[in-house]
Amino acid sequence: MATHRKGQPETLFVSFENKVGFPQHWHWSPVELAALDQGAEAIGDVVMGRLAAAGLTVDISGDNGAYAFIHDRDLSRSVVNGKVVDVPEQPGFHFFAKLVDGQQQTYQNLADIIGVNEPQVDHVKPGRYTRDNKLSYLCHVKYAALGKIGWSRDEKTGRLVGRYGYDPAEVVTLAGRPYIDIAAERWTAWVRGRRPERDPSGQTPLAV
């Protein structure tokens, strides 16, 4: 079990994103790094193994589980000399799970266990809709229609990004309730929560 750091916030949620194409940003063994070329399930299996090796257990009761996905069709947008330029984003691996009660960890502990830099771990604010929002983000349903690009400002970087609307059937369920079942149950509510798109200045809503 990882050592707790007194005075630092702790969480039961394990949520992070890391770029697949930069192995130097994964503090893994050569065997583990091979998973980066094998897709979301293989990467997720390594993460699950690392959590288990640290004595942590993913909560699979009720609607809980562990889920992984690679966002590989997103774009970033900038305006150069008055022209809009859209560039493909580097594929990013996303993971979300909740630990069983009593296994709270600091964000630095989670980063050390997973093998990524601490800024890659989401500082999840606990709340009524935390889990629901994290699950919906895996397929970007609140940002874009299925198979389409939705433009909005990235909350962390402030950059204008085009988030692709992924098919929920593509999200990998590593443990617990199948993601596709959760998506089918929550889809209508998720679509209702979709955010308006923004133009390159980030100010004017675009037609959806």
pLDDT digits (tens, 9 = 90+) for 11-69: 999 999 999 999 999 999 999 999 999 999 999 999 999 999 999 999 999 989 999 99
Establish if 117 belongs to a structural domain. yes
What DSSP assignment string belongs to 104-173?
-EEHHHHHHHHTB-GGGB--PPP-TTHHHHHHHHTTTTTTS-TTSEEEEE-TTT--EEEEE---GGGSEE
Establish if 133 belongs to a structural domain. yes
Q: Which of 73-82, 95-104, 137-146 has the lowest mean pLDDT?
A: 73-82
Establish if 201 belongs to a structural domain. no
Q: State the Cα angle at 129 between 59 and 103, rounded to 5°.
A: 30
Predicted confidence at residue 198, as pLDDT, reads 55
Report the number of distinct structural domains present in the chain.
1
Establish if 3 belongs to a structural domain. no
Establish if 177 belongs to a structural domain. yes
Confidence label for 6 from pLDDT (cuts 50, 70 and 90):
low
Establish if 113 belongs to a structural domain. yes
Establish if 204 belongs to a structural domain. no
Establish if 207 belongs to a structural domain. no
Q: Which residues form the domain of 96?
A: 10-192
Phi, psi of 80 (to 5 degrees): -120, 120
